[in-house]
Amino acid sequence: MPSARLALADGSVFEGRAVGASGHAGGEVVFNTSMTGYQEMLTDPSYAGQLLTLTYPMIGNYGVDTAVEESEKIQPSGLIVREVAPTASHLNSTNDLGTFLSDRGVIAIEGVDTRAITRRIRSQGVMLGVITTESVEDALAQVRSLPGYDDIDWASQVTTEKQYGWGSFAKNSNLLPAVEPIANKAVSTLKEGPRSKASESHKKVVLIDGGVKRNIMRSLTARECDITVLPIDATAEQVLALRPDGIVWSPGPGDPQVQNVQVEETKKLIGKVPILGICLGHQVIARALGAGTFKLPFGHRGGNHPVRDERTGSVTITAQNHGYAVDPIGLDASAEVSHVNLNDGTVEGITMRDEPVMTIQFHSEASPGPLDSMSTFDHFVEMMATAGVK
């Protein structure tokens, strides 16, 4: 394989080997500590504009399978790993990771010290970087010319271009099998006891797409929800014209501070129908309720983040992928912090006292990660069943 190098904004350079396409790719360098789920991570829209570093040393050993993809394409600008497995072994594997990257034109680097890269990010914070098969001088020049990650509206770049229904989309997509993937089968086998009667009736859900993962829609569909997906720039009037039983504000990439228009539109939706906000959706709704947001030094990205429910005291292990957090100062008196991250005390969820609104910073649909928080979707369906449209 040809040589490649990773250049960081602090001037450090890591030499390695090229995997996938040739050329160069730039973005904000972040790391994820999950041991499995590289394909789900690679197709997660929340990684748009970033160079994804995987801390687990060998990546690609179980190959790739289109059934687990979370969007229609690879979303990070590039991939950084210690070692790409030369062969893949899994019943459902259809390809190896190297070929998968090459076929989709994605630039990656292996053979670098991902532990050293991760330690640098943890100590100095996330920074811009470039993966290149060109010279060190070119790489450093390219890093200096990159625009700031926080200045770009990444969510608008990954949102759907037009409205669609999830059911018809799933049947017509050549990237998503018509059968339900294993994520939904796992829900039925791991959940304790039968679902409530309220959750069995069909509900109309409008999903605002800021970078939605398919397993959110799979999880809602498994709970008898009919889903209409709208672009992130949908107005409150357009959302309510569909007469939904509930609204889901999806995860997505980028700084929530650039979503000022959607914050104002979300204010118009609160109190109309039940709302669930996930990740970016949590941050937008929090801003609509008066809270602020700030950038974390190196973000939360992995499948082992402990979160405590402040109402019950219970702790769940969650999957997370975000670089920004909610500042509760200024939060309206009608709302309260419902969940807290036990690692750093940051806000992981908000509920309203008198309105059917709930938000979570973590990924209840996991993919990849633990399924401990799948009950969030049950709570949302029950909230729709008991709340009347005002």
Residue 297 CA to residue 322 CA, distance in Å, equals: 11
Angle at 146 (CA atoms; ends 140, 152), nearest 5 degrees: 160
Do the beta carbons of residue 317 and residue 372 sit within 8 Å? Answer: yes
pTM: 0.90
Burial of 123-157, coded b for 16+ CB within 10 Å and e otherwise, reads eeebbbbbbbbeeeeebbebbeebeebeebebbbb
- Quote the pLDDT of residue 182: 27
- Quote the pLDDT of residue 388: 59
Where in the chain do CATH 3.50.30.20 domains reside? 3-152
Question: Looking at the domain covering 155-386, what would its CATH class be?
Answer: alpha beta
Residue 333 CA to residue 326 CA, distance in Å, equals: 16
The contacts of residue 250 (CB under 8 Å, 6+ apart) are: 207, 208, 209, 210, 211, 212, 213, 216, 278, 279, 280, 281
Could you report the average pLDDT of every consecutive run of 10 residues in the chain (390 residues)? 93 95 94 96 97 97 94 96 94 93 95 97 97 90 94 97 74 33 30 37 92 95 94 97 96 97 98 97 98 98 96 96 97 97 98 97 90 92 79
- Quote the pLDDT of residue 1: 75
Where in the chain do CATH 3.40.50.880 domains reside? 155-386
Q: Of the candidates 290, 212, 214, which has an alpha carbon nearest to the alpha carbon of residue 249? A: 212
Known catalytic residues?
Answer: 279, 363, 365
Q: What is the CATH number that goes with domain 3-152?
A: 3.50.30.20
The contacts of residue 302 (CB under 8 Å, 6+ apart) are: 32, 33, 34, 319, 320
- Quote the pLDDT of residue 369: 85
- Quote the pLDDT of residue 130: 97
The C-alpha R_g of the chain, in whole angstroms, comes to 20
Q: What does the block give as tokens for 187? A: 């829900």
Beta strands in 310-383, from DSSP E residues, in sequence order: 315-327, 335-341, 347-352, 357-360
Q: What does the block give as tokens for 174? A: 């050549």
Residue 372 CA to residue 309 CA, distance in Å, equals: 12
Do the beta carbons of residue 48 and residue 211 sit within 8 Å? Answer: yes
- Quote the pLDDT of residue 201: 63
DSSP 8-state assignment for residue 370 = -
